[in-house]
Amino acid sequence: MDYDVIIIGSGLGGLLCGSILGKEGLRVCVVEKNKQLGGNLQTFSRNKQLFDTGVHYIGGLAKGQNLYQVFKYAGIMDQLRLEKMEEAFDHILLENDPKEYVQSQGYDAFIKNLVADFPEEKEAIIRYCERVKEVCGKFPLYHLTTDDASVKNNVLGLGAQETIASITNNKKLQAVLAGNNLLYSGVAGKTPFHVHALIVNSYIESSWKCVDGGSQIAKLLAAEIKKHGGTVLRNCEVKKIVETNRAISHIEIVNGATISARYFISNINPAATLNLTNSPLLKNVYRKRISGLPNTVSSFSLHLVLKPRSVPYKNHNYYFHKDGCLWNMNDYTEANWPLGYGLYYTRDRKNPSYAATISVLTPMWFRDVEQWKDTYNRKGKESNRGTSYEAFKKRKTAQLLKLVKERFPEIVENIQYSYAATPLTNRDYIGLEDGSMYGVQKDYKNPLQTVISPRTKIPNLFLTGQSLNLHGILGTSLSAVLTCSLLLNDDTLVDKIRNV
């Protein structure tokens, strides 16, 4: 069967494109190499407990807010099972300081709660909030409008660390304002302020947890695609994207089958996309630029099953970093790793006042697991990486739990089962060769170099996903909207979404 659109990869960007384009009347086929759909939306189960791989909380989902409108248009908003987080959604912990500093929902509460801890910094805190909102205002798509986007160019060159430091000299306040920068892999001298602002603003607007995991988003979007007459193919790895007569004609699957369509969208990493086609329309200078872009760091994560009724549930997250390491958590050594972490609770459904599980996440580079790079272990492709790998995981688990225990002894003392995931796990399930958390590393010193257009020089091949403009649930969703608008050549799509 021929299709209007073939979408390679079933991460959020691909599934959202499929749902939107299906709603617009196109016949869609999504192809996914894994058994499970969803990319970073995937969940897994251990000891009858469900764990999220990447989606621990989501912003911008209150009625009328940007992500709410996108999900509403895609047909899934009313079916999502959500729990609103408490007012102070993120608690920031600093080394050698017993206090918990908070980031809160709603700008009034955000300011009030920070001023309580930093009364002498009230003007700086207000100025910071105004700067965040001002920068967000320079991105029309973020507000679901199609006004002239060129005005944002004057903010692309602002650095996150530098801009926050220019607002306040108070090092502790700087560390609190950027305390959850694990959300975007904040890096000294690279991370743009607009990345910080767009992500933080969405959580200040409203913060939510997915009840029973983020995989529900993938399942609901796949159901919408099928409802509109589309197809979702699992265990279907693409070997080639074939160009004929200056346009893509079909894809070749690993098993030798071919699938044809009028349009093609790649939701896999842009560099990996280029490796699948030898089309001369994609010039060497473009290939070199895209393949040369460095990715963000990967992660090491612990998924902990707790003893029943042992640890009270907290409806907020924690972010800890060692003194002076806020923007340098990726620059660890074997001896001082880890330099910080994010910690996320999941509620026990039978005993709601207690936590059932805890996930702890910290940066780790792929080089740390490079010696096992030729081993793969995912559903349908299971293999044993050997005793040396298990020893590595055990050693790193002990190192991370030692740091966690300093602030959360009750968690470490009540672990029933522990499971570790490394950059290799991320690579096997998400598809990026180095297991990168957030795709391409943005760089405010060379902003246009790291912004990738959804259009390619092949007229019917488009890109989508977290590496294009902004990562995370919101950023990936907005990239999908942009990709669909360009493919449909329809400037009114954004208006339809805003007004749905």
pLDDT per residue of the chain (500 residues) written in tens, 0 to 9: 689 999 999 999 999 999 999 999 999 999 999 888 877 767 676 777 777 677 889 999 999 999 999 999 999 999 999 999 999 999 999 999 999 999 999 999 999 999 999 999 999 999 999 999 999 999 999 999 876 555 466 789 999 999 999 999 999 999 999 999 999 999 999 999 999 999 999 999 999 999 988 889 999 999 999 999 999 999 999 999 999 999 999 999 998 999 999 999 999 999 999 999 999 999 999 999 999 999 999 999 999 999 999 999 999 999 999 999 999 999 999 999 999 999 999 999 899 999 999 999 999 999 999 999 988 876 666 677 889 999 999 999 999 999 999 999 999 999 999 999 999 988 888 777 898 888 889 999 998 888 889 999 999 999 999 888 888 889 999 999 999 999 999 989 999 999 98
Model pLDDT, residue 468: 86
Neighbours of 84 (CB within 10 A): 14
Model pLDDT, residue 260: 96
List the structure tokens of 392. 């590595």
Q: Burial code of 345-366, b = ≥16 C-beta within 10 A, e = fewer?
A: bbbbeeeeebbbbbbbbbbbbb
Chain-centre distance of CA 81, in angstroms? 19
Model pLDDT, residue 150: 52
Cβ proximity of 267 and 465 under 8 Å: yes
Model pLDDT, residue 449: 84
Report the candidate in 238, 279, 232 with the shortest Cα–Cα distance to residue 257: 238
Cβ proximity of 409 and 401 under 8 Å: no
List the structure tokens of 323. 């003194």
Place of tokens 């205002």: 137
Strand 461-463 to 258-266 pairing = parallel
List the structure tokens of 349. 């459904």
Model pLDDT, residue 152: 61
Distance (Å, whole) CA 114 – CA 408 = 23
CA distances from 260 to 67, 265, 279 (A): 32, 13, 17
Model pLDDT, residue 230: 97
CATH 3.50.50.60 residue ranges for the chain: 3-81+211-293+439-499
> What is the CATH code of the structural domain delimited by 3-81+211-293+439-499?
3.50.50.60
